[in-house]
Amino acid sequence: MPSLFSLVLGLCLFTVPGFPQEGTGSTSRPASQNPGEKGTTGEKKPLPVGPSPAGQVGDGGEVVPPSTNKGKPIPPGCWFRPIHLDFGHVVENSREFVEGTFHFENPTDAEQKILDIVPSCKCQHLELIVNGKEVKIERDNELKLKAPIPIPARAKGELRLRLNVTGGPQHRTGDIRIETSDAGMPAFILTAEAIIDPIFEIVPKIVDLGRMDPMDRREWTVKVRHRFKKDWKIVKVNENIPQSMAVLSMTPEKTDKGTVYTIKGVYGPGIPEGSVGGFLLFHTDDPNENIQLQVDAEVRQRVNIDRSFWSYGRFERSKGAKHTVHLWPAEGTKGFTVRRVEPIYALNPKEYCEIEILPPAMPGSGVAPVALPGLEKKIPADRLWRIEVRIKPGVPGRVVRMKLKIHFAEKDLLPKIVHFNGFPYGN
């Protein structure tokens, strides 16, 4: 009975007032990880009897656990004690594996068979012990057991797990699906987890700048030290820096705990509306040990736009084409004025593009609110700006492509960029 599994590799964050003690939560932002390989798929499988340990039912009938069994009761008929292994915190690069054991017993008076044992990823190495003797887990080309494993009546055993904890900071969780011939437990999912703490400690662990306007400027400071090394250094800041963010200084200081860096930076002005901050990556003198810093902000968005890119698709050259861009104030913000629209790139002669700015209706004019695709609420006509972008008949070439910059009268509003393409045909 084939199975489908998922490995969830999340991001783990910890809140600390200062540098944590060894073995506790780190303060650097973990990098996202690629999910592990999934198991095999096939026909629909019977669902586990009794309470699902963690799972939801997938499209193929499989149980896909979105979480772990931590804190959940052991359901009737389950062979295993425990049903979850929590390895706690492990410091990045401090070890390769953590190990634990699921004990089990065939509770019936008849021989039963383990029909399949499927870990969710290659990060899990399994050993099976039955009545004190190791039983090899042999798989075929489809990663299923080559043959069922007999478990004598009332036999006891162990399923030993070695969970790989390399690969960078993260909250690593995995699952193991067990399928048996026992009607009391035809299938069950065991789970395990480990929190891999970054090797660098950052205070504060996340720079939270709160709510900002696009033209605000806010400085921030963090301190960084290595958990184990006293002598280390930052070599450079990665060139991929979020827009409007900069590192002002990186100053090392020798302390009794080793080198501590004070990093100062700034966010703004000129931040794109709706931005939420970003990540900064610092390279150290060890290429395997980098620092990732998270800077959070909630940058207010004053101007909503229905679409910043559109395509006219294929259109008749002799007829031209037209598209309307809609802009309106974000909820709870004051209005704005579109001053001009500037073509900043054009594949074709600019004279074949006509741009008309249509201001909102006058308040109290009685014009009905406007419904836009994808929006639940209609936009009041007296708050809606429209920009008509028309391609004139006879435009040359096989492709139309242009980028426009929308300027506002308000000095604290950054321009909006929109762009489009199209494919004229015919004469």
pLDDT at 56: 36
Q: Round to whole Å and give the CA distance between 66 and 64.
A: 6
pLDDT, tens digit (0-9, with 9 covering 90-100), for 70-123: 999 999 999 999 999 999 999 988 899 999 999 999 999 999 999 999 999 889
390/298 Cα distance (integer angstroms): 36
Tokens of 168: 């960078």
Please report the pLDDT score of residue 49 as a whole number: 33
Residue 84 — φ and ψ, nearest 5°?
Answer: -150, 135
Instruction: Give the residue-averaged pLDDT of 370-399.
Output: 94
Q: What percent of the chain has pLDDT over 70?
A: 85
Q: What is the predicted pLDDT for the residue at 40?
A: 32
> First CA to last CA across the chain, in angstroms?
62
- Per residue in 236-260, pLDDT (tens digit) is 999 999 999 999 999 999 999 999 9
pLDDT band (50, 70, 90) for residue 168: confident
Least confident of 170-174, 241-245, 390-394: 170-174
Q: What is the mean pLDDT of residues 207-217?
A: 93
Give the mean pLDDT of 193-215. Answer: 93
CA distance 80 to 87: 18
Taking the CA atoms of 58, 61, 65 and 71 in sequence, report the sign of the dihedral they define.
positive
- pLDDT score recorded for residue 8: 31
Q: pLDDT at position 352, please? A: 94
pLDDT per residue as tens digits for the range 268-278: 999 988 899 99
The span from the CA of 220 to the CA of 114, in Å, is: 57
Question: What's the whole-model pTM score?
Answer: 0.58
In the predicted structure, residue 425 carries a pLDDT above the cut 80: yes
State the average pLDDT for the chain. Answer: 85
b/e per residue, 134-173, with b = 16+ CB within 10 A? eeebeeeeeebbeeebebeeebebbbbbebbbeebbbbbb
Q: Is the pLDDT of residue 169 over 90?
A: no
pLDDT of 274: 85
Cβ count within 10 A of residue 106:
23
Residues 6+ apart with CB under 8 A from 274: 299, 301
Q: Locate tokens 């650097």: which residue?
A: 28
Quick: pLDDT tens for 279-331: 999 999 999 889 999 999 999 888 999 999 999 999 999 999 999 999 999 98
Q: What is the pLDDT of residue 14?
A: 27
Backbone conformation region of residue 142, classed left if phi is above 0, alpha if psi is from -120 to 50, else beta: alpha
Give the contacts of 192 (CB within 8 A, at least 6 positions apart). Answer: 68, 84, 85, 86, 87, 100, 124, 161, 163, 173, 174, 175, 176
CB-CB contact of 39 with 174 (8 Å): no
Domains of the chain: 9-197 (2.60.40.10), 200-299 (2.60.40.10), 303-425 (2.60.40.10)
- Give the per-residue pLDDT at 170: 87
Give the per-residue pLDDT at 333.
81
**How far apart are alpha carbons 348 and 341 in whole angstroms?**
17
Give the pLDDT mean for 406-420.
92
The residues, any chain, with a CB within 8 Å of residue 304's CB and separated by 6 or more, are 327, 328, 329, 330
CB atoms within 10 A of CB 131: 11
Residue matched to tokens 């909006």: 416
Cis before 204 (ω within 30): yes
pLDDT given for residue 332 in this prediction: 79
Residue 16 clears pLDDT 70, i.e. is over it: no
pLDDT of residue 320: 96
39-63: average pLDDT: 35
Is the Cβ–Cβ distance between 237 and 246 less than 8 Å?
no
Span 122-162, pLDDT tens digits: 899 999 999 999 999 999 988 889 999 999 999 999 999 99
Is the pLDDT confidence value at 179 over 80? yes
